[in-house]
Amino acid sequence: MIQTSYLIFVQCSVGLEEVVQRELARWGLVGRIFAGGVELRAGWPELVRCCLMSRAAESVRVRLKAFVARDFEHLVGQLKKLPFRAHLPPGTPVAVRVTCHQSRLWHSDAVAERVYGVLTQHVGCVRAGASERDEAQPVFVRLDHDEVQVSLDAGGPRMHRRGYRPHVERASLRETLAYAVVDQLMSELGDAPMIWDPFCGAGTLLLELLHLHAGRLAGEGRSLSLETWRGHDAEQLAQVKQDLLAQAAESARLLPPLAALGSDISSRALDAARTNADAAGLGPVEWRLGDILEVSKAVPPGTAVLCNPPYGKRLADCDGVKKLVQLCERRPDLGPIVVLAGGEAKQIIPSHWPATLRFQNGGLQVSVRVKRRARER
């Protein structure tokens, strides 16, 4: 087993840092929160676990030793001292991504050229072309107040993709953000007989919930960047993955049965949701065409509601948020109710539904709002 210790940064959307930290804690790992992610030191099995299991992570990066650079000569000199060769074999295609914040070296393109120069001339890597960037090894470089942090991507591109969603609808929610909403519901759920998404669209929220409930790994179908690193052992990776799948399946067997209902006023959206669920082998889930108030007549007491109703540009499509609030006033038995709200929808939702998370979705500020089920007297 590989014994190397890594400084790992689990990067996520700003606002989801505590969600990532809770994930790590469930696996017995302790990390420190920074803006946009959580940092921890751990071994190779834990690095693989983060890559394959984290549902909130947008990327998992191995951080190399940080240094200070106030001019390009010093930058290049320090870059040459970093252990790139310990990870990247000659011929590795690389894609450098630079961000600069309040540093003397403020021109990100100029910094990137120096990094490419060291990687190609000193390490033997190959600069990836525009059409090759998805297959290339990402190298992240962040300059903040003259401190330079270089990181190597370990998890692979587009970690938010699970592989269960070949069809998307307009304004579909990214899977990592969907997980943050699902995670909030699971912490509130209790003994609800059913989970209902009345604005299901292509089904992302319910599919993320079902994927998790079925004991599936977030990255089970993804190739990892670390598979191209020096010393990679395919047999070890396969064994760790098999162990993680077994653990997830065992945890799933202990969960109570899950009844799920997805509804929408768009027949096209429901067709996409059905296709996605069938393609991923996720279920059972019932899909119904209809308005929220109409479908609610078939929803049993105590049902939990999980939804991403129209807001922002989508708010003009229907008055779904108002109908949701109206329904909750009529049906106090429903709950918990977990809603992702943005734009004008945040003003429509009652103030006594507290916001538990705040982040951005498509550049729009959104919040997760929660209404807990009324207690029986």
Task: Give the model confidence (pLDDT) of 22-38 as tens digits.
Answer: 999 999 999 999 999 99
**Are both 150 and 186 inside the same structural domain?**
no
User: Above pLDDT 90, what percent of the chain?
Assistant: 76
Same domain (yes/no): 220, 364: yes
Task: Specify whether 126 is located in the same domain as 270.
Answer: no
Q: Are residues 114 and 215 in the same domain?
A: no
Kindly state whether residues 211 and 305 are assigned to the same domain: yes
pLDDT given for residue 306 in this prediction? 97
For residue 104, being part of any structural domain is answered with: yes
- 328 domain-assigned: yes
- Asked if the model's pLDDT at residue 1 lies above 70, the reply is no
Mean pLDDT of the chain: 91
Of the two residues 138 and 376, the one the predictor is more confident about is 138
User: In DSSP terms, which residues pair with 41 in a beta bridge?
Assistant: 7
| Whether pLDDT at 137 is above 80 | yes
Confidence of residue 211 (pLDDT cuts 50, 70, 90): very high
Higher pLDDT among residues 345 and 331, named by residue: 331
Is 96 within a domain? yes
- Shared domain for 96 and 124, answered yes or no, is yes
Question: Does one domain contain both 97 and 234?
Answer: no
Same domain? 114 vs 223: no
Residue 347 or residue 167, greater confidence: 347
The answer on pLDDT for 214 being more than 80 is yes
Q: What is the pLDDT of residue 312?
A: 59
In a domain, 73, yes or no: no
**pLDDT at residue 166, rounded to an integer:** 65
Say whether both 241 and 360 belong to one domain. Answer: yes
Q: Residue 285 is encoded by which pair of tokens? A: 């889930």
Residues 143-172 pLDDT 10s: 999 999 999 999 998 898 887 776 666 657
> What pLDDT is recorded for position 279?
83
From CA 314, how far away is CA 177, in angstroms rounded? 18
In this structure, are 345 and 215 located in the same domain?
yes
54-83: pLDDT as tens digits:
999 999 999 999 999 999 999 999 999 999
Rounded to whole angstroms, how far apart are CA atoms 367 and 361? 9
Alpha-carbon Rg for the chain, nearest whole angstrom, is 23
pLDDT in tens, 50-59: 999 999 999 9
Q: Which of residues 262 and 283 earns the better pLDDT score?
A: 262
With respect to residue 13, please indicate whether it lies within any of the assigned structural domains.
no
What is the average pLDDT across 97-118? Answer: 97
The answer to whether the predicted template modeling score (pTM) of the entire model surpasses 0.85 is yes
Determine the structural domain holding residue 117 and report its residue range. 86-155
Instruction: Judge if 243 and 316 occupy the same domain.
Output: yes
pLDDT at position 193 is 85
Q: Tell me the mean pLDDT in the region 228-236.
A: 93
Share of the chain above pLDDT 70, in %: 95
pLDDT of residue 376: 44
CATH number of the CATH domain containing 112: 3.30.2300
Residues 6+ apart with CB under 8 A from 6: 41, 42, 43, 44, 47, 62, 63
Question: 283 — alpha (psi -120 to 50), left (phi > 0) or beta?
Answer: left
Q: How far apart are CA 201 and CA 317, in angstroms?
A: 13
Q: Residue 273 domain-assigned?
A: yes
- Of 263, 357, 346, which Cα lies nearest the Cα of 18? 357
Q: How many domains does the chain have?
A: 2
Cα 192 to Cα 212, 261, 276, distances in angstroms: 17, 13, 25
**Mean pLDDT computed over 259-272:** 94
Instruction: With respect to residue 244, please indicate whether it lies within any of the assigned structural domains.
Output: yes
SS3 assignment for the chain: CCCCEEEEEEECCCCCHHHHHHHHHHCCCCCEEECCEEEEEEEHHHHHHHHHHCCCCCEEEEECCCEECCCHHHHHHHHHHCCHHHCCCCCCEEEEEEEEECCCCCCHHHHHHHHHHHHHHHHCCEECCHHHCCCCEEEEEEEECCEEEEEEECCCCCCCCCCCCCCCCCCCCCHHHHHHHHHHHHHHCCCCCCEEECCCCCCHHHHHHHHHHCCCCCCCCCCCHHHHCCCCCHHHHHHHHHHHHHHHHHHHHCCCCCCEEEEECCHHHHHHHHHHHHHHCCCCEEEEECCHHHHHHHCCCCCEEEECCCCHHHHHHCCHHHHHHHHHHHCCCCCCEEEEEECCHHHHCCCCCCEEEEEEECCEEEEEEEECCCCCC
Domain match, 96 and 194 both: no
CATH of the domain at 287: 3.40.50.150
Final residue of a domain: which of 100, 121, 155? 155
Residues in the chain, how many?
A: 377
- Domain contains 349: yes
